[in-house]
Amino acid sequence: YAPQDDCSVQPGWPAFRKALVTAIQTRDADGLATLAAPDIALDYGGGSGTAELKKRLADPKTGLWQELDAILPLGCAMEGGLAAMPWVFWHVPEDIDSYNAMLVMGDQTPLRDKLDGKAISPVGWFIVGIDPMGFDPKAPSTRVALRNGQQGWVETEKLRSLLDYRLIAEPQDGTWRITAFIAGD
């Protein structure tokens, strides 16, 4: 599930992505808002719109700039004319429950036999099972299960929830617009 870019061949996508990267890197809320649809969805509780987007970007407690930074290197997928970042969002196998699974980031991220133990094998870009009730995002390592049943430990900072923030964009009036920047399900 390593990041791939299925979007770069879409008409207008390269210019959109360049503007997106520039807005994120320069922390330009107005620039980001111009790339968004007027009714951009921001949460599942009704939060929407470019004014609300700018308000949330201005509040450092939301961490939205960091979330945007985090998705940039994670690829882009196309489905039904819509683009999704990260790429994995539309490539999770149907038999995986996204609430109980995470993406292991990094090419050579090791699976360890025990907490701080020896590396068993690389599991970079694998989707692994976790115990969501026991998950502690501040723990140095998290116990995970591979699809083949093998278990071990992975550095927690290398795990990304399958339900974490994603950016959805679609072509509108000849240009790409961000129609959602949202987490959860």
- pLDDT, tens digit, 9 for 90 and up, residues 85-125: 999 999 999 999 999 999 999 999 999 999 889 999 999 99
Q: Which structural domain range is residue 131 located in?
A: 98-161
Is 2 within the bounds of a domain?
no
Is 23 within the bounds of a domain?
yes
pTM of the model: 0.92
What domain count does the chain have?
2
Do residue 176 and residue 85 come from a single domain? yes
Do residue 112 and residue 124 come from a single domain? yes
Do residue 140 and residue 173 come from a single domain? no
The C-alpha atoms of residue 98 and residue 51 are separated, in whole angstroms, by 31
Do residue 26 and residue 42 come from a single domain? yes
Average pLDDT over residues 6-20: 97
Do residue 21 and residue 83 come from a single domain? yes
What sections of the chain are H helices per DSSP?
A: 13-25, 29-35, 50-58, 64-71
Is 7 within the bounds of a domain?
no
Do residue 19 and residue 84 come from a single domain? yes
Do residue 17 and residue 84 come from a single domain? yes
The C-alpha atoms of residue 58 and residue 13 are separated, in whole angstroms, by 26
Instruction: Give the CATH number, domain containing residue 128.
Output: 2.30.30.40
Q: The sheet that has 77-79: what strands, in order across it?
A: 36-41, 175-182, 166-172, 82-85, 77-79
Average pLDDT over residues 55-69: 97
Q: Could you give the 3-state DSSP secondary structure of residue 92?
A: coil
Do residue 155 and residue 169 come from a single domain? no
The pLDDT value recorded for residue 169 is: 99
The pLDDT value recorded for residue 115 is: 87
Do residue 30 and residue 20 come from a single domain? yes
Do residue 19 and residue 34 come from a single domain? yes
Instruction: Give the CATH number, domain containing residue 75.
Output: 3.10.450.50
Do residue 140 and residue 126 come from a single domain? yes
Cα angle 73, 94, 162 (rounded to 5 degrees) comes to 35
Is 6 within the bounds of a domain?
no
Do residue 62 and residue 75 come from a single domain? yes
Is 4 within the bounds of a domain?
no
Helix axis angle for 64-71 and 50-58, nearest 10°, is 100
Q: Which residues pair with 159 in a beta bridge?
A: 104
The pLDDT value recorded for residue 185 is: 81
